[in-house]
């Protein structure tokens, strides 16, 4: 099939590249000339493991191309995907649909009759019908006779594991309003049938809600275990044991039960906010979701206090080594990362902050002014009073703790991802704080042996 993908951001680029690997002919279109030129040359503007190799392979095979010309991209396409950004609208928390509707209006001038217009962007309930209205209105204005269909196909891609999620999905959700649209969507995803991936056909509205409901539920699991972690700290429990105990219940499951400094990224903050606003607009308040948003925001600020307590109550004059600033490992995404709350608070408190992150510097330099960037954890910790582990990159999971400690001035270690065993950290001479577990002090030095008298 020939498919056009409007937008080469995270969702559009990953989807376009993966569709081409299915064997479809994919044309990705973007208005940014420099970005298109980079993609044509085999460059990838985002960090996603394996994406660069897959992109180059399919470009060389002639199945994947990039253009700035919308008419060229959609000519002869059976389906056109809209995969543009829907950021949170400033001031009211709604998803900003400006780019979605602009793409729909432009499409009306160039699509062929029978084209299925598929919304891949995360959009509120009712958006797909509004996309259909916008296209129909523009067709009427121009006098074009061009029957078309609409469909909703929300994405469920985890940054850092997007290719695996696309190729081996838990499910594919397709919201349609006609048999013709359903058939096109089934044809697009037919290559997944060999892997027995379930393709779920729903109404447009159900597909739109599924996306928001899924992300809100996962955000709720994270926030729930974070509050349980706070309780564990007060009463002497171990949140890792608690999470394992409840996660073994098949009705709950172990995923997203990892206590930490709060969720971030491109999806959870934006989608929970949008779902809360959708509920308010329809007089169906999303009380649980609203609470999740509030608790998560407060949690990031509370992590600052945890670090300050480790430093004796103040950051002024102290050096802190921060390990990881992206919202999760295996991505360069900084959106709503806990580091954007925690690090500026430490800098504002007078701390000297040294940062290291395998992929975060490209975005982080602009977002985290006042910090210094180092090549690795040991360089960042040189002369530091404390180490703060914020993102659980593999590079930070097996540090030589004694080497790390030897280069420091102080002995603080704040592990906000519970990566390390407290006993291992304290054995290396650190004062250790983590999430949902008791703080730990280094063992006192053994008393020096009394000299043996010489006879």
Q: Which residues are catalytic?
A: 267
| Residue 34 marked in a binding site | no
- Contact status, residue 208 vs residue 126, Cβ threshold 8 Å: yes
What tokens does 55 get? 């992109």
What tokens does 16 get? 């376009």
- Collapsing DSSP states into helix, strand and coil, what is residue 268? helix
| Residue 391 marked in a binding site | no
Q: How far apart are the first and last CA of the chain?
A: 96
Residues contacting residue 289 through CB under 8 Å, at least 6 positions apart: 216, 219, 220, 272, 275, 276, 279
Give the whole-angstrom CA distance, residue 38 versus residue 204: 35
| Residue 68 marked in a binding site | no
In order of 65, 79, 81, 179, 316, the CA distances from 4 in angstroms are 10, 7, 6, 21, 54
| Residue 86 marked in a binding site | yes
- Contact status, residue 324 vs residue 392, Cβ threshold 8 Å: yes
| Residue 75 marked in a binding site | no
User: For residue 133, how many other CB atoms are within 10 A of its CB?
Assistant: 13
What tokens does 232 get? 């564990």
| Residue 66 marked in a binding site | no
- Contact status, residue 124 vs residue 94, Cβ threshold 8 Å: yes
| Residue 259 marked in a binding site | yes
| Residue 158 marked in a binding site | yes
| Residue 257 marked in a binding site | yes
Read off the DSSP letter of residue 253. -
| Residue 300 marked in a binding site | no
* Strand arrangement of the beta sheet that strand 386-389 belongs to: 372-373, 352-356, 319-323, 386-389, 412-415, 431-433
What tokens does 127 get? 């958006």
| Residue 264 marked in a binding site | yes
Residues contacting residue 445 through CB under 8 Å, at least 6 positions apart: none
Give the whole-angstrom CA distance, residue 130 versus residue 247: 41
- Contact status, residue 112 vs residue 75, Cβ threshold 8 Å: yes
Give the whole-angstrom CA distance, residue 298 versus residue 295: 5
Q: Which residues pair with 354 in a beta bridge?
A: 321, 372
Give the whole-angstrom CA distance, residue 72 versus residue 178: 27
| Residue 333 marked in a binding site | no
| Residue 156 marked in a binding site | yes
If you write DSSP's letter for every residue of 115-152 in order, what string do you get?
PEEEE-S---TTHHHHHHHHHHHHHHHHT-----EEEE
- Measured over the CA atoms of residue 220, residue 222, residue 224 and residue 227, the dihedral's sign is negative
- Report the binding-site residues for NAD(+): 30, 35, 86, 122, 159, 270, 335
- Report the binding-site residues for substrate: 156-159, 211, 256-260, 264, 328
- Report the binding-site residues: 30, 35, 86, 122, 156-159, 211, 256-260, 264, 270, 328, 335
């Amino acid at each position: 099939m020939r498919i056009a993908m409007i937008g080469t951001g995270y969702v559009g680029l990953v989807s376009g590249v993966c569709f081409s690997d299915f064997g479809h002919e994919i044309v990705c279109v973007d208005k940014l000339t420099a970005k298109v030129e980079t993609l044509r040359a085999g460059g990838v503007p985002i960090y996603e493991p394996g994406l660069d190799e897959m992109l180059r392979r399919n470009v060389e095979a002639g199945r994947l191309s990039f253009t700035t010309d919308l008419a060229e991209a959609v000519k002869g396409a059976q389906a056109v995907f809209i995969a543009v950004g829907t950021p949170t609208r400033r001031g009211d928390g709604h998803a900003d649909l400006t780019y979605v509707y602009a793409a729909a209006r432009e499409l009306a001038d160039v699509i062929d009759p029978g084209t299925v217009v598929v919304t891949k962007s995360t959009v509120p309930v009712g958006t797909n019908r509004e996309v259909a209205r916008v296209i129909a209105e523009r067709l009427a204005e121009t006098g074009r006779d061009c029957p078309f269909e609409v469909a909703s196909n929300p994405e469920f891609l985890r940054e850092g594991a997007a290719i695996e999620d696309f190729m081996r999905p838990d499910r594919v959700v397709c919201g349609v309003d006609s048999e013709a649209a359903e058939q096109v969507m089934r044809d697009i995803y037919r290559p997944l049938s060999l892997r027995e991936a379930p393709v779920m056909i729903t109404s447009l509205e159900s597909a739109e809600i599924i996306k928001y409901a899924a992300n809100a539920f996962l955000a709720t699991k994270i926030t729930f275990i974070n509050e349980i972690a706070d309780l564990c700290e007060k009463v002497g429990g171990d949140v890792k044991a608690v999470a394992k105990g409840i996660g073994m219940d098949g009705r709950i499951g172990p995923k997203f039960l990892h206590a930490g400094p709060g969720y971030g990224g491109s999806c959870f903050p934006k989608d929970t906010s949008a779902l809360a606003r959708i509920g308010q607009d329809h007089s169906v308040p999303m009380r649980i979701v609203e609470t999740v948003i509030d608790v998560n925001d407060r949690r990031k600020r509370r992590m600052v206090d945890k670090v300050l307590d480790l430093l004796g109550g103040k950051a002024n004059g102290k050096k802190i080594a921060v390990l990881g600033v992206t919202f999760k490992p295996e991505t360069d995404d900084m959106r709503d990362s806990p580091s954007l709350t925690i690090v500026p608070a430490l800098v504002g408190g007078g701390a000297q902050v040294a940062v290291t992150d395998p992929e975060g510097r490209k975005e982080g330099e602009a977002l985290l002014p006042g910090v210094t960037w180092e090549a690795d954890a040991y360089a960042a910790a040189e002369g530091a009073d404390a180490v703060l582990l914020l993102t659980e990159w593999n590079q930070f999971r097996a540090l030589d703790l004694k080497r790390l400690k030897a280069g420091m001035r102080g002995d603080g270690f704040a592990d906000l991802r519970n990566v390390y065993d407290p006993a291992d950290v304290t054995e290396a001479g650190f004062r250790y704080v983590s999430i949902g577990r008791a703080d730990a002090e280094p063992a006192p030095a053994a008393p020096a042996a009394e000299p043996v008298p010489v006879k």
